[in-house]
Chain A
């Protein structure tokens, strides 16, 4: 798959609740094939504080219009600067990068679990699964109702369940406390979010003998396999999250 460097046009930058926003980008060329779980490396603004690019997942892809979206949470100066992008600005990206979520077996009972900005790649994954006739359960965790994002898009691709830490929306607690995990049985779980959450879900999957893929958010220097800064320890030793990942089957990870 060919990677490219390109300045894309910002079509829209829509603020969501609190510090989340969705940027829609348009390429002047035909989009390359982009898979769920893949990411882009965004050149923020070239200031001395945001020297390196920032990795961001594909949130949704619209091949007909050569557009795609990224969903971003402000956590620091780079994401803050991205939040200020306006329609008609441009954003320089290297994309598409990384591997992707695998397609489960036909008819697999599938669960997607996301927390915080980790929900970003799950929409495109959900769409991909739906196009293969798999309707997943989608369990999203947020800190409180202030941060619960618009779920309509997710509802269009699966059955959405919510948790908040304070119980202000959906069930109270962490995603791992959700009653769904006590009742339903799954053949495949996909998870993206804070490392603690992914480890807890990986643990639950192991106990229940369920295959689990997680998407890691390691710090990255380059995103293309050149710096070896993004490694994760696996059964095969240290491998790059940006090229061998970001998606890993939890069986491969030494957690």
Chain B
């Protein structure tokens, strides 16, 4: 048996495959296809204090090897989550992480306090990187001052493990990783979607109602990998890499570049089984290569220098 586990502080994950926020619903959407408890964890849909309707249709456009989305954090709010979704989520025997979003620092703080009382949620993923909301979201994640303020404020109240999710839409990702670490983040996840757009030449209109949206899928993988590598070489806390991971080889690239764990996003839309296939693929890669613990290859490319 190869060891696949990793940890964020004293929080253990049975393996490094986690599903990405906004791409795996609340898990139940995938119950017909796979046993979610096999995964290292799931990050549920971006959650806000109040319910949000999100952006008008059309919210999606397919692009070469990827897709643009402009969902705009549609969700039913924390009250609904706590009453109607949390009880079922707490039955999964895997780490269920809530991705939190706000329009102002007070929202993030209030949300964190609400999640503090949910015993079965071991970690919060602080999304300061959503390109799809006008107020907040990426504004926090692309400005070093506000990125620091929001991380500091959440850390002050947060009783859970705190993962800060970074936006790739910045000049120097390393600055933001440092800020997150300095302000007490337990882990960093990246990347969120890259800001992009598409125009429908038939209708001669922008493809998305919001004109611009977030690009995900294999199209962004090289950018994501580069950023994960930079961040992993900068901070001491565990880095969770994502962006265009479709198969085990993609995932292993991130791990070799320094990611302690990975998240599977858009891939689940095309193959709902992608996450478990990736998990199985990582395991057989390690066996074939003769490793007994995934940690032997974490950041391997950075050691041989």
Binding site for B on A (CB under 8 A): 2-5, 43, 48-53, 94, 218-222, 224-233, 237-238
Contacts and interface: CB of A to CB of B under 8 A. Distances in A.
Interface stretch (B55-63, B152-160, B166-174, B231-239): B55-63
Indicate the member of A4, A43, A226, A232 with the most B CB atoms within 10 Å: A226
Nearest to B69: A229
Contact of B272 (A52, A94, A228, A238): A94
B54 interface: yes
Given A2-B32, A3-B32, A52-B62, A227 B272 contact: no
Contacts of B24: 226
Contact of A229 (B59, B63, B65, B66): B59
B56 A51 contact: no
Given A3-B32, A238-B53, A238-B54, A229 B60 contact: yes
Chain B interface mostly helix, strand, loop or mixed? loop
7 contacts: A5-B33, A48-B65, A48-B218, A224-B29, A227-B71, A237-B53, A238-B74
A232 B60 CA distance: 13
A231 B74 contact: yes
B6 to A, nearest CB: 25
A231 to B, nearest CB: 6
B69 A221 contact: yes
A216 B25 CA distance: 22
Contacts of B53: 237-238
Given A5-B33, A48-B65, A237-B53, A231 B272 contact: no
A230 B218 CA distance: 21
Contacts of A49: 64
Interface stretch (B86-94, B109-117, B249-257, B263-271): B263-271
Interface in B90-106: none
Interface of B: 22-25, 29-30, 32-33, 45, 53-54, 56-67, 69, 71, 74, 217-218, 268-273
Contacts of B30: 224, 226
Contacts of B59: 228-229, 231
Contact of B270 (A52, A232, A233, A237): A52
B69 to A, nearest CB: 6
Given A53-B269, A227-B69, A230-B60, 4 more contacts: A51-B65, A226-B25, A227-B269, A228-B54
Indicate the member of B22, B25, B64, B269 with the most A CB atoms within 10 Å: B269
A18 B268 CA distance: 35
Indicate the member of A228, A232, A238 with the most B CB atoms within 10 Å: A228
Given A51-B65, A51-B270, A228 B74 contact: yes
B217 to A, nearest CB: 6
A81 to B, nearest CB: 13
A51 B246 CA distance: 11
Indicate the member of B22, B32, B61 with the most A CB atoms within 10 Å: B32
Given A227-B22, A228-B74, A231-B54, A5 B64 contact: no
A224 B74 CA distance: 16
B57 A231 contact: yes
A232 B57 contact: yes
Indicate the member of A2, A218, A222, A237 with the most B CB atoms within 10 Å: A222
A222 B32 contact: no
A52 B269 contact: yes
Contacts of B74: 228, 231, 238
B66 A51 contact: yes
Contacts of B33: 3-5
Given A226-B23, A238-B53, A221 B64 contact: no
A53 B270 contact: yes
A49 B64 CA distance: 5
A50 to B, nearest CB: 8
B244 to A, nearest CB: 11
A232 B56 CA distance: 8
Contacts of A220: 60
Contacts of A222: 268-269
Contacts of A224: 25, 29-30, 272
A13 to B, nearest CB: 23
Contacts of A229: 59-60, 69, 71
Contacts of B270: 43, 51-53
A127 to B, nearest CB: 26
Contacts of A43: 270-271
